[in-house]
């Protein structure tokens, strides 16, 4: 995966372990989302799925329509995360400085919102489903399958409980490979425990700024709330008591973030 995949995401990355489809280790900042994140680092999350058709000439390939945020938000009972007002009302991103709504280049379903008042939301979209299936050791388990739009394959998690605490853990065998995440219901219905499509929001890693938002239509969002500041042509992101600074500049109709002369991420202005 290219280095481009978002060091911005590194903030979350380190926390998220390494998410395969989510952005965790090399580039997209929040790809994993703890859960899905485990497999991919945010940066990795920006990993772009290959949509090419091997039997069709390149010049005949149709470009896939990029994912949009907040699809289905007008449905009755749709739960609203604290980021909703910013996400719903943001204008297409500015090219003069980080402000408004952007999608991350080469990372379907990954969005950035800068509210102009020091708060930035990293949002990653995906789908989920439930099943009762065999884990790696052959035992039947209650499972939730989560797949970010940027991932080619879903990640399966065993639904568990320890001392009354809802947990999800990867199905990989072996202590070193297994990742376990505590899911704390913040608002809505505890649909993971009930294994039914639902409207609910969970916090993870013991932090209110790292959230999973689930919807009854089978979609979910990983949301990371960060603080940011601008100084000249530099933007500094702060989350989990860590700071990362990047230079920004307009390039080809997009806002490009770079560090040490290397392009880290390309933010594409996007309407809702």
Give per-residue pLDDT as tens, 166-220: 999 987 655 556 788 999 999 999 999 999 999 999 999 888 999 999 999 999 9
The label of the residue with tokens 């979209």 reads 125
Q: What's the domain count of the chain?
A: 1
Q: Is residue 166 part of a domain?
A: yes
Determine the Cα–Cα distance for residues 7 and 165; give it in Å rounded to an integer: 32
pLDDT for residue 134 is more than 50: yes
- 175 located within any domain: yes
Domain assignment present for residue 52? The answer is no
Say whether pLDDT at 7 is over 50. Answer: no
In a domain, 77, yes or no: no
Place of tokens 């994140």: 37
217 part of a folded domain: yes
3-state secondary structure the chain: CCCCCCHHHHHHHHHHCCECCCCCCCCCCCCCCCCHHHHECHHHHCCCCCCCCCCCCHHHCCCCCCCCCCCCCCCCCCCCCCCHHHHHHCCECCCCCCCEEEEECCCCCEEEEECCCCEEEEEEEEEEEEEEEECCCCCEEEEEEEEECCCCCCEEEEEEEECCEEEEEECCCCCCCCCEEECEEEEECCHHHHCCCCCEEEEECCEEEEEEEECCCCEEEEEEEEEEEEECCEEEEEECCEEEEEEEEEECCEEEEEECCEEEEEEEECCC
pLDDT in tens, 78-94: 999 999 999 999 999 99
Q: Is residue 148 part of a domain?
A: yes
Confidence label for 37 from pLDDT (cuts 50, 70 and 90): very low
Residue 168 is assigned to a structural domain of this protein: yes
User: For the chain, what is the mean pLDDT?
Assistant: 79
CB–CB of 142/154 below 8 Å?
no
Tell me what pLDDT residue 220 has.
97
Cα–Cα distance for residue pair 249/262, rounded to 1 Å: 12
The yes-or-no verdict on residue 21 having pLDDT over 50 is no
What pLDDT does residue 70 have?
Answer: 85
- Full residue range of the structural domain in which residue 176 is found: 126-224
pLDDT tens for residues 242-260?
899 999 999 999 999 999 9
> Is 0.85 topped by the overall pTM?
no
Q: Would 136 be classed as within a structural domain?
A: yes
């Amino acid at each position: 995966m290219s280095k481009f995949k978002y060091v911005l995401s590194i903030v979350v990355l380190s926390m998220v372990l390494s998410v395969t489809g989510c952005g965790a280790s090399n580039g997209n900042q929040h790809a994993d989302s703890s859960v899905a994140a485990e497999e991919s680092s945010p940066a990795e999350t920006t990993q772009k799925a290959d949509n090419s058709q091997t039997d069709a000439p390149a010049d005949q390939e149709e470009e896939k329509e990029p994912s949009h945020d907040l699809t289905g938000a007008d449905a009755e009972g749709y739960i609203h995360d604290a980021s909703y007002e910013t996400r719903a009302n943001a204008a297409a991103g500015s090219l003069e400085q980080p402000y408004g709504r952007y999608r991350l280049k080469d990372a379907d379903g990954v969005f950035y919102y800068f509210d102009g008042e020091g708060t930035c939301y990293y949002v990653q979209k995906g789908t989920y489903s439930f099943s009762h299936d065999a884990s790696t050791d052959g035992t039947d388990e209650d499972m939730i399958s989560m797949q970010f739009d940027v991932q080619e394959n879903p990640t399966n998690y065993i639904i568990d409980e320890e001392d009354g605490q809802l947990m999800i853990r990867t199905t990989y065998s072996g202590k070193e490979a297994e990742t376990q995440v505590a899911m704390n219901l913040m608002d809505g219905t505890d649909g993971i425990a009930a294994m039914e499509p639902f409207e609910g929001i969970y916090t993870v890693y013991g932090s209110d700024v790292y959230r999973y938002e689930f919807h009854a239509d089978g979609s979910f969002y990983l949301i990371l709330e960060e603080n940011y500041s601008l100084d000249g042509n530099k933007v500094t992101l702060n989350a989990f008591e860590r700071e990362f600074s990047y230079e920004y500049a307009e390039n080809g109709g997009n806002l490009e973030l770079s560090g040490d002369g290397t392009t880290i991420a390309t933010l594409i202005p996007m309407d809702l």
